[in-house]
Structure 1
Amino acid sequence: MNQQSVTFDERYRIGRKLVDELGPAQDTEPSTFELLGLEWDLVPGTYAPKPGTGTEYYTTAIPYPQGGSFLEIGCGAGVTAVWAALHGCAHVTATDVTVTAVASAELNVERHGVADRVHVQRSDVFADLDPDAKFDAIFWNCSVIEAPKDFEFTQDFEWAIFDPGYAALGRYLAEVHDRLLPGGRALVTFNSLGDASRVAELADEKGVTLSLVDSSTRVLAGEEVTYKVFEITRP
């Protein structure tokens, strides 16, 4: 076995560990969790961002377009999307590939009184959005563990951890600038649990550059993790 496959296997092992340790409880009814000093609703099956997770850091670190429009891909329970609406964004669109996350986000939009400026819908990256929709800022706290290409999702929560072959991230990098208004900003996250060299190659393949905006190191499920926010630009 070569070193590359050993590294891939180790990252995948950590991904499985995160699923086991951070995965949702076997609840059958909606529950709540606390983050960033607020209470949030959670539909069973949705990833619940706990203290130390990327959501806690990214939500307060990313630059929001004051008075502008904001699109979040992979919104999960809707924490970042709601925060954006509470902190200056006039229009927010929050999407997720799973129906449980969409349901959780909708509950949190109502809970925090931002239904007048936050729209939640299901979408696989940009595929299900209005083809003419464009935004002042687009953000994705992406799934950083590169699962095997034949990986099959067995529970909704796994979408928050794994991206088989980094296919979804590749589509995001290739298509995000087509969704920006003039002067808009494209943002993406990554962390030290993923394969940074592969993502750099992927960005090069898609003709974009990843420029570091901010970073923070924290402990997640016993693993020291460095979270990073990048702006995606075209040379």
Structure 2
Amino acid sequence: MNKTIQSYLDKSASAAPLAVFRIGFGLMMLYSIIRFAAHGWINSFYITPQFHFSYYGFDWVKPLGSFTYLLFTICGIAAFFIAIGFKYRLSIILFFLSFTYIELMDKTTYLNHYYFISLLSFLMIFLPANRHFSIDYPKATDHTLKTPTIPQWSIDSIKLLLSIVYFYAGLAKINSDWLLKAMPLKIWLPSKYDLPFLGNLMQQEWVHYAFSWTGMLYDLLIPFLLIYKKRGSGHL
């Protein structure tokens, strides 16, 4: 057993897949922060309200008044630095702390996606995601950072986290409301009537059912697609 574990821990893989994941993660988080600010949600969600619903044990986490904008700015800059691989370790720690603080300020803004991002960013603190395609990479003085390989477990850990999220999301969709009544997509999709070219399609009942069933199947298949690897491939 110990030899099997050690053998797995000694396995290496290309650093490119994790680097691409890091870039995509950083850019998506940067876009989310910019979008949040552009819609005026920082002010309407955190500054204007006089009362906020705190999480149990986190009563001390409160909006910072006008400094809340600074908190979002730090989070956005950290996300950008993650994407370009600049001071990666410090950047991912700052992102995890600032993003998690933002989510803990008021539980009425809770989304399971945000909880997942906090978990994922915490995991990424311990991963060598700056080994490739990063500003840190060419400036590294440590010879280990110049090796374009990383431990296999660092990629598999993200696969595992994604698999858990998607698989249980798929299981949660196996119910009569989702599959037999196409709810809540039957409510959500018609509201997209103003989408160019697709607005009319969103009104069709068969589309609601198609989205419901394909969404369930997609979520359940993700873990198997992540596990499947073509021979000679080391992709995430």
Shared fold by TM > 0.5? Answer: no
Instruction: Decide which structure has greater strand share.
Output: 1
Query: Quick one: higher RCO (CA 8 Å, sep 6+), 1 or 2?
Result: 2
Q: Shorter-chain TM-score category?
A: under 0.3
Q: Which has the larger radius of gyration?
A: 2
With the length of structure 1 as denominator, give the TM-score of the two structures. 0.27
